[in-house]
Amino acid sequence: MDAYELITTRRSTRRYLSRPVDPTSLSLVIDAGRYAPSGGNNQSTHLIVIQNHMVLQELAEMVKIEFSKMEVSDGMYTSLASAIRASKGEKYVFHYDAPVLIVTANRIGYGNNIADCACVLENMMIMANALNLGSCWINQLRWLNDNPLILDYMHHLGMLDEEKVYGALAIGYPDTADGMPVRTPLERKGNIVTMI
Amino acid sequence: MDAYELITTRRSTRRYLSRPVDPTSLSLVIDAGRYAPSGGNNQSTHLIVIQNHMVLQELAEMVKIEFSKMEVSDGMYTSLASAIRASKGEKYVFHYDAPVLIVTANRIGYGNNIADCACVLENMMIMANALNLGSCWINQLRWLNDNPLILDYMHHLGMLDEEKVYGALAIGYPDTADGMPVRTPLERKGNIVTMI
C-alpha cells in the first residue's frame, strides 16, 4: 500500500483472534509508536504493553466492575455513557478481548501529555494496518484514570506515581471473514476544512 | 519508503522555502488528516488551512506581540518558556515562515478534542513525509487559545464560537541542502516500554 492508502484505510477493528501477535510484528508496532513526535522532544510517553492473558482478564473484570458503579449523566461524553451502560450487562470486555493492549501513560501536569500519547497511538495504528493487524483506540482506562483501584493496578503493572493513563490501543489478528483488518471506507461526515 | 521507514523517519523541519505547496500534494496531506480516527467517530476536528501570505504575516506578528507581553515563570512548560523568551527578541516567527499553516480546532469541552486533533496532525505529518514535504508541529496558537485577540482573529478566519485551537502544523518544501525533509535519526532517550 502507498502512504495515502495506508493512512486512509485505517479503521477500528473490534473482533480479534486469541492468537498472540508475532513478536517481530509487535516490536515494529511498538517502535513506530516510540518514534512519534513529542512536545519539546520530551519522549515521556510510557508504553505498557500487556500480553499476559491473566492480567488482561483481571483488568477487564475490574474495568467492568468500576464502570458498573457509575451512572450516566446529562451531557456526558457519548462513548463514556455507552461504556457505563454496557458494563451493567452480562458481558462487557473493554478491550474487545484483543491479545495485546498497549497502554500509553504520561506525566501528570505535562502540557503535551494527551497529544504525545495520541501521536504514539496513531503511529502504532498505521503500522498495525501495514502489517494487516487490527487495532482499536481504547479510552476506558483514561476515563478511569482517577479511579483508585485502577490506579493501584496500573502502578502494580509498572506505571510510575507521576504518570497517568492518557490512551490505549487494542491490537491483534482480526477475527473477520477474510482475516484482514476492517478497512471499509470511512463515511465522511465531519473534519471540515476551511481554506484561507 | 515502506511503512516503518515512512513513520520512523518523520522529524521536524524548521526551514522552508517560500514556494507555495503544490495543490495536489496539499490536498493529499489534508485528506490524510481528515481520515484520522476520532472519539466515537465524531470527526469534529476543524482544519483551517492558511496559505494567504498576508494572513500568515499578520498572525505571526500578533503571536509575537502577545507572547512578548507574557513572562516566564517557574515550572512553566519548557517550550512555552522558550517561545516567550524568543518573542522578546527582534525576529520571532512562530510558524518558521512556512507557506502553509494548518490549524486544528475542535469543540471546547469535548473530551477527545486534543487527542483527535493530534491524530489529524500525526497523519498529516506522515503523509507530508511521504511527499518529501517538511512539517513541524506548532503549539503556539494552542498556548494562546484563551487570548482574546488571537481568539478574535481565529473567529475572523472561520473558527466557530464553540471551538478552540488544539494544535497546528507548518508545512512546506524544506530549505535544506538536499531539498529533503529533515530525517536524521531520532535520538532515543525516552518513550520507555514495559512488557507485561
A80-129 pLDDT, tens per residue?
A: 999 999 999 888 999 999 999 999 999 999 999 999 999 999 999 999 99
Locate the chain B residue with the closest alpha carbon to A99: B196
- CA-to-CA dists, residue B13 to A33, A140, B1, B24, B147, angstroms: 20, 35, 18, 21, 27
Tell me what pLDDT residue A189 has: 87
pLDDT of B132 reads 97
A35: chain B residues, CB-CB within 8 Å: 7-8, 10, 186
| Of B22, B42, B19, the residue nearest B30 (C-alpha) | B22
Centre a 10 Å sphere on the Cβ of residue A148 and count the other Cβ atoms it contains. 9
In this prediction, residues A70-79 reach a mean pLDDT of 90
Mutation choice for B interface testing from A122, A143, A146, A164 by most B CBs within 10 A: A122
Residue owning grid cell 495506508: A6
Give the pLDDT score at A186: 85
**Could you tell me the pLDDT band of residue B189, with boundaries at 50, 70 and 90?**
confident
* Chain B, nearest residue to A9 by Cα: B35
- In this prediction, residues A61-67 reach a mean pLDDT of 96
Q: Which residue of chain A is at minimal alpha-carbon distance from B51?
A: A196
Mean per-residue pLDDT, B74-99: 92
Tell me the pLDDT tens digit for each residue of B8-34: 999 999 999 999 999 999 999 999 999
Look at residue A179 in the predicted model and tell me its pLDDT.
94
Distance from CA of B179 to the nearest CA of A (A): 20
Cell of A156: 502494580
Q: Does B185 touch chain A (CB under 8 A)?
A: no
For chains A and B, count residue pairs whose Cβ atoms are closer than 8 Å.
202
Computed over every residue of chain B, the mean pLDDT equals 95
- Local confidence band at B185 (pLDDT 50, 70, 90 cut-offs): confident
Kindly state whether A37 is in contact with chain B, defined as any CB-CB distance less than 8 angstroms: yes
Chain A residues 84-103 with CB within 8 Å of chain B: none
- Cell output for A183: 478497512
Please tell me the distance from the alpha carbon of residue B144 to that of residue B150, in angstroms, as a whole number: 7
Report the amino acid identity of residue B194: T
Q: What average pLDDT does the segment A174-185 reach?
A: 93
User: Does the pLDDT of residue A172 top 90, yes or no?
Assistant: yes
| CB within 8 Å: B47 and A12 | no
pLDDT in tens, B35-55: 999 999 999 999 999 999 999
pLDDT of residue B133: 98
pLDDT given at position A166: 98
* pTM, rounded to two decimals: 0.96
Nearest to B125 among A1, A10, A37 (CB): A37
Identify all chain B residues contacting A115, using CB atoms and an 8 Å cutoff.
114-115, 117-118, 166-167
Q: Is B26 on the interface with A (CB under 8 A)?
A: no
Three cell numbers written together for B148: 482574546
Q: Chain A: give the shortest CA distance to residue B67, in Å.
A: 17
Q: What is the pLDDT of residue A21?
A: 98
Question: Quick one: pLDDT at residue A53?
Answer: 96
Mutate to test the interface with A, among B35, B191, B194, B195 (most CBs of A within 10 A): B191
pLDDT at B56 over 90: yes
Q: What is the pLDDT of residue B97?
A: 97
Angle between helices B53-68 and B148-156 (to 10 degrees): 170
Higher-confidence position of A89 and B139? B139
Cα–Cα distances in Å, from B160 out to A130, B58, B145, B157? 36, 20, 13, 9
Q: A158 touching B, CB under 8 A? A: yes
